[in-house]
C-alpha cells in the first residue's frame, strides 16, 4: 500500500511539474508573441504614426499599405494582407463605408469620449446610427489680408462672415486704359475659394444612384456671386482678365503688392507658408451663417470588416486618440522637422478639440486665442476620391459659362450630364 501511495505521489508531482512547465511556456509565448495587422492609407504621415506605435507596443505590430485611391481596397485584400485599419481622406463614399465595421462599441470599451471630437466631424462618420469612421483631422478656409487692412473691418474678431468679406472686397483701381490694376477679391479667382464658397451655402454633393445636391442653395450661391461687386461696371470679363493676369503670383504676394485686399485659402496651405511670409498677414476663419465649411481633405479612421487581427487595430485606435499621444506626435514632428512637409495631424487640425485648441497654438502663434469655434465647424461630405478634380475640370467651367451665356441654360442639368459622362470615363 505504501508503494502504491508513493507511486501515486510521484505521478501527482510529475503532473504538477508538467502543468507548471506548460503554464510557464504559455506565459513566455504570450509575452513574446506579436500580433500583426495592416493599415491601408493614402496619408504619407500615417507611416510615422505606425512607426511610433510599433516602438511603444511590443505585442502588436502594424504595417502600412499605401494606396493613393482607397477605392481599390479589394486589390489590397487580394494580396492576402487583409488590412484591418483604413486611414485616409475622401473615404466617406458608399463603396468604402460598406466595407467597414460598426465601431460604436469603442466609445465604451476604449474609454474614448464622443465629447472629445468636433461634433460635425463625428456625425459625418455615421451611417444609419452606426459609427463607421472616427475623424482624424480637417482643414477649413481662412481669410488672409495685410495687417493694416484689418482696420477696415467693422467687427474685428476670430471669424469673418461672408457679408463682411464681400464689403471688404469692394474696391478697385483702374488706369487710363481702363485696365484694373487692383481689385479687392472675388471667389471666382480660385477653384479652392469657389469650392469653399459653395460649401458655405450648404451645398453638399452626394452620390447615391447618381449625383445629388441642394439646388436652391446652389442657386443662392450663384446669385451671390453675380452681385459680389457693388460696382456694376466690373463685368465678368474684367474679373477673369484680372485673374489671368495675376494668377501666377502667390496669394500673400498679391496682398503685399496691393493687387488684392483679401484672399481665401485653406488652413493647411496658409500654415505651410514660411513664418516670415505669415508675419505680415492677419487671418480670420471664413464663415457664412455662423458655419465654417470643412473641405474634402478631412481624414478619417476605421476598421475594415474583413480585416485580420482586429485586436491590434483596437489597440492602435485607443493609443492614437489619447491626448498625450497626439501631443507627443506633434512634438516629434517639430523635432524631426517633418512639420515642414505636413501640417499638424495628418496635414490638418486634430479632430480632438483639446489638441487643436491647446496644443496647436504652441507651434503656430497665429492660433493663440484664435482657435476655430468648435460649434461653427460644419462638415460637408465629398462624394469620391476624385471629386476635387471633377469640380475643377467640369463644374467650374460650367459656372463660368453660365455667367457669360447669351442664352440661359439649366446649370443643374448640365452638371448632372457631365457627372454621368465623367463616371463612365473613370469606371474600369
Backbone φ, ψ for residue 77 (5° rounding)? -65, -35
**Axis-axis angle for helices 215-226, 191-200 (nearest 10):** 120
Higher pLDDT, 211 or 115: 115
* Residue 132, pLDDT above cutoff 50: yes
pLDDT digit string, tens, across residues 2-52: 454 454 445 444 444 443 434 434 444 444 588 999 999 999 999 999 999
| Spatial distance between the Cα atoms of 388 and 232, rounded to a whole number of angstroms | 31
* Residue 155, pLDDT above cutoff 90: no
Higher pLDDT, 344 or 148: 344
pLDDT digit string, tens, across residues 259-270: 999 999 999 999
Q: What confidence category does residue 357 fall into, taking pLDDT thresholds of 50, 70 and 90?
A: very high
**In the chain, what are the domain boundaries?**
33-138+296-373, 141-294+386-426
CATH, range 33-138+296-373: 3.40.190.10
- Do 141-294+386-426 and 33-138+296-373 have the same topology in CATH? yes
Asked which of 129-138, 150-159, 227-236 is least confident by mean pLDDT, the reply is 150-159
Q: What confidence category does residue 150 fall into, taking pLDDT thresholds of 50, 70 and 90?
A: low
- Its sign, for the CA torsion 253, 333, 285, 389, is positive
* Residue 345, pLDDT above cutoff 90: yes
At residue 274, the pLDDT reads 85
Cell 472675388, located at residue? 186
**Axis-axis angle for helices 215-226, 396-404 (nearest 10):** 60
On average, the pLDDT of the chain sits at 86
Angle (nearest 5°) at CA 318 between 317 and 323? 110
415 C-beta neighbours (distance < 10 Å), count = 21
pLDDT digit string, tens, across residues 68-88: 888 777 655 555 578 999 999
Q: What is the pTM of this model?
A: 0.87
At residue 70, the pLDDT reads 86
- The 3-class SS string of the chain reads CHHHHHHHHHHHHHHHHHHHHHHHHHHHHHHHCCEEEEEEECCCCHHHHHHHHHHHCCCEEEEEEECCCHHHHHHHHHCCCCCCEEEEECCCCHHHHCCECCCCCHHHHCCCCHHHECHHHHHHCEECCEECCEEEEECCEEEEEEHHHHHHCCCCCCEEEHHHHHHHHCCEEECCCCCEEEECCCHHHCHHHHHHHHHHCCCCCEECCCEECCHHHHHHHHHHHHCCCCCCCCCHHHHHHHHHHHCCCCHHHHHHCCCCCCEEEEHHHHHCCCHHHHCCEEEEEEEECCEEEECCCCEEEEEECCCCCHHHHHHHHHHHCCHHHHHHHHHHHHHCCHHHCCCECCCEEECEHHHHHHHHHHHCHHHCCCCCCHHHEEECCCCCCCHHHHHHHHHHHHHHHHHHCCCCCCHHHHHHHHHHHHHHHHCC
| Spatial distance between the Cα atoms of 297 and 45, rounded to a whole number of angstroms | 14
Cell of 89: 481622406
pLDDT digit string, tens, across residues 280-335: 899 999 999 999 999 888 999 999 998 888 999 999 999 999 999 999 999 998 88
We find that the CATH architecture of domain 141-294+386-426 is 3-Layer(aba) Sandwich (3.40)
* Residue 415, pLDDT above cutoff 80: yes
Q: What is the mean pLDDT of residues 393-416?
A: 91
| Spatial distance between the Cα atoms of 220 and 225, rounded to a whole number of angstroms | 9
Amino acid at each position: 500500500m505504501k508503494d502504491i501511495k508513493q507511486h501515486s505521489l510521484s505521478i501527482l508531482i510529475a503532473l504538477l511539474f508538467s502543468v507548471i512547465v506548460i503554464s510557464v511556456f504559455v506565459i513566455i509565448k504570450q509575452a513574446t508573441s506579436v500580433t500583426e495587422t495592416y493599415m491601408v492609407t493614402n496619408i504619407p504621415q500615417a507611416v510615422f504614426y505606425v512607426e511610433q506605435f510599433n516602438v511603444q507596443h511590443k505585442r502588436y505590430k502594424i504595417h502600412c499599405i499605401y494606396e493613393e485611391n482607397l477605392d481599390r481596397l479589394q486589390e489590397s485584400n487580394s494580396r492576402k494582407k487583409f488590412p484591418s485599419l483604413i486611414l485616409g481622406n475622401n473615404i466617406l463614399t458608399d463603396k468604402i463605408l460598406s466595407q467597414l465595421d460598426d465601431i460604436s462599441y469603442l466609445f465604451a470599451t476604449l474609454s474614448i469620449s464622443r465629447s472629445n471630437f468636433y461634433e460635425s466631424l463625428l456625425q459625418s462618420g455615421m451611417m444609419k446610427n452606426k459609427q463607421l469612421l472616427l475623424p482624424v483631422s480637417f482643414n477649413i478656409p481662412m481669410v488672409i489680408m495685410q495687417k493694416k487692412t484689418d482696420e477696415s473691418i467693422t467687427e474685428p474678431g476670430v471669424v469673418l462672415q461672408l457679408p463682411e468679406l464681400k464689403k471688404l472686397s469692394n474696391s478697385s483701381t483702374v488706369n487710363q486704359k481702363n485696365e484694373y490694376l487692383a481689385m479687392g477679391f472675388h471667389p471666382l479667382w480660385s477653384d479652392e475659394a469657389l469650392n469653399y464658397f459653395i460649401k458655405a451655402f450648404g451645398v453638399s454633393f452626394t452620390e447615391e444612384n447618381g449625383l445629388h445636391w441642394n439646388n436652391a442653395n446652389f442657386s443662392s450661391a450663384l446669385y451671390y456671386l453675380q452681385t459680389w461687386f457693388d460696382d456694376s461696371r466690373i463685368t465678368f470679363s474684367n474679373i477673369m482678365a484680372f485673374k489671368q493676369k495675376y494668377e501666377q503670383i502667390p496669394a500673400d504676394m498679391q496682398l503685399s503688392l496691393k493687387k488684392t485686399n483679401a484672399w481665401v485659402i485653406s488652413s493647411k496651405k496658409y500654415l505651410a507658408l514660411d513664418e516670415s511670409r505669415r508675419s505680415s498677414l492677419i487671418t480670420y476663419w471664413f464663415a457664412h451663417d455662423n458655419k465654417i465649411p470643412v473641405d474634402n481633405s478631412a481624414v478619417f479612421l476605421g476598421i475594415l470588416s474583413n480585416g485580420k487581427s482586429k485586436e491590434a487595430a483596437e489597440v492602435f485606435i485607443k493609443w492614437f486618440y489619447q491626448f498625450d499621444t497626439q501631443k507627443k506626435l506633434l512634438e516629434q514632428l517639430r523635432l524631426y522637422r517633418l512639420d515642414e512637409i505636413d501640417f499638424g495631424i495628418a496635414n490638418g487640425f486634430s479632430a480632438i478639440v483639446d489638441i487643436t485648441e491647446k496644443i496647436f497654438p504652441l507651434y503656430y502663434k497665429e492660433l493663440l486665442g484664435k482657435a476655430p469655434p468648435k460649434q461653427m465647424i460644419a462638415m460637408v461630405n465629398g462624394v469620391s476620391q476624385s471629386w476635387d478634380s471633377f469640380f475643377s475640370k467640369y463644374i467650374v467651367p460650367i459656372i463660368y459659362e453660365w455667367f457669360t451665356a447669351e442664352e440661359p441654360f439649366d446649370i443643374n442639368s448640365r452638371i448632372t450630364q457631365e457627372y454621368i459622362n465623367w463616371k463612365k470615363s473613370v469606371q474600369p
